[in-house]
Amino acid sequence: MITLFDIGPVVIDGKETGFSPFTRRIMFAFIPTLFSNKINDIEPTAKSVNAPPTALKSDGVTPQYTVPFLTDSTTSKAISDSALIAEYLDSAYPSTTRISPQNTSAFANAIYAKFRALYALLGPKGKVTIMTPVLIEGMRKVHGSAVADPVVPTPEQEAAIWRSTRASFDEMYHDADLEDLGEPTYASFALAGTFWCFRSVFGRDSKEWKEVSTVWAGGRIGKVLEVIEGYESMQV
């Protein structure tokens, strides 16, 4: 049995679920036994299942534990980091969907790097629309009030973030062919997972999502998410 650990809980479409865009990359291709963690439980839970840290904290010494991490009772393996998880699943289960980063890992990282600017908008909005009191309190304990209680940007700041982020994605995909998406790649799952979070925060019928999904990058973002969500996930 495969268990994929995420951060949560949040409430999306009336159901509690996890929320990491990195975890969602994997979930679009595979159907694990999902287990959502409270944010302040990530480190002790990872240690309890022998999932390794993925980075060092700002002091350069202390190990940092992040989601997603995965345990596989069949092989007794514990894997951390979405790219390494993708590589592991491709290797351990070769008959299932292949999502290995291969040559698209750098592009997937670039997608998230450009998306990060939107956190200034997602934080305040998400606190109202999907975050639970448990998650907010956990964020406050782990990251402090600056993250748990984000400052709402001014209209001018919001407009500037919106313009610059749209320009970044327009530039990234300016040569992309919308009609030929081809087989999903790790970068496709990364784009879909990242903007799944955006849509979850703002809502399917929001003007923000309608613009992002139909206008940004020539409509590619919405199309990729549509294709990935229609992709037949594999049970592992």
| Boundary-marking domain end, from 92, 114, 142 | 92
Residue 29 domain boundaries: 2-92
Is residue 7 domain-shared with residue 83, that is, in the same domain?
Answer: yes
The single-letter code of the amino acid at 9 is: P
Is residue 207 domain-shared with residue 125, that is, in the same domain?
Answer: yes
Whether 149 is covered by a domain: the verdict is: yes
How far apart are the two ends of the chain, measured CA to CA in Å?
7
Is residue 87 domain-shared with residue 134, that is, in the same domain?
Answer: no
Whether 223 is covered by a domain: the verdict is: yes
Whether 227 is covered by a domain: the verdict is: yes
The number of distinct structural domains making up the chain is 2
Distance between CA atoms of residues 204 and 190, nearest Å: 19
Is residue 36 domain-shared with residue 110, that is, in the same domain?
Answer: no
Classify 38 in phi/psi space as left (phi over 0), alpha (psi -120 to 50) or beta. Answer: beta
Q: Which of 28-42, 115-129, 177-191 has the lowest mean pLDDT?
A: 177-191
Whether 155 is covered by a domain: the verdict is: yes
For residue 236 the two structure tokens come to: 């592992």
Whether 98 is covered by a domain: the verdict is: no
Whether 97 is covered by a domain: the verdict is: no
Q: Cα–Cα distances in Å, from 27 out to 64, 144, 190?
A: 23, 29, 11
Is residue 117 domain-shared with residue 229, that is, in the same domain?
Answer: yes
CATH number, domain of 22, equals 3.40.30.10
* Whole-model pTM over 0.85: yes
Q: Is the peptide bond before 68 cis (omega within 30 degrees of 0)?
A: yes
Is residue 136 domain-shared with residue 208, that is, in the same domain?
Answer: yes
Is residue 176 domain-shared with residue 203, that is, in the same domain?
Answer: yes
Pairing of strands 15-17, 55-56: unpaired
Is residue 183 domain-shared with residue 228, that is, in the same domain?
Answer: yes
Is residue 114 domain-shared with residue 72, that is, in the same domain?
Answer: no
Is residue 20 domain-shared with residue 45, that is, in the same domain?
Answer: yes
What H or E segment, with its residue span, contains residue 35? strand 33-37
CATH number, domain of 127, equals 1.20.1050.10
- The residue ranking higher by pLDDT, 55 or 100, is 55
pLDDT at 233: 61
Q: How confident is the model over 180-192, as a mean pLDDT? A: 84
Distance between CA atoms of residues 13 and 89, nearest Å: 28
Q: Cα–Cα distances in Å, from 207 out to 117, 157, 204, 210, 214?
A: 19, 18, 9, 5, 11
Q: Is the pLDDT of residue 198 over 70?
A: yes
What integer best gives the mean pLDDT of the chain?
Answer: 90
Is residue 81 domain-shared with residue 152, that is, in the same domain?
Answer: no
Whether 120 is covered by a domain: the verdict is: yes
Q: Is the pLDDT of residue 207 over 60?
A: yes
Q: Which of 111-115, 121-125, 228-232 has the lowest mean pLDDT?
A: 228-232
Is residue 136 domain-shared with residue 38, that is, in the same domain?
Answer: no
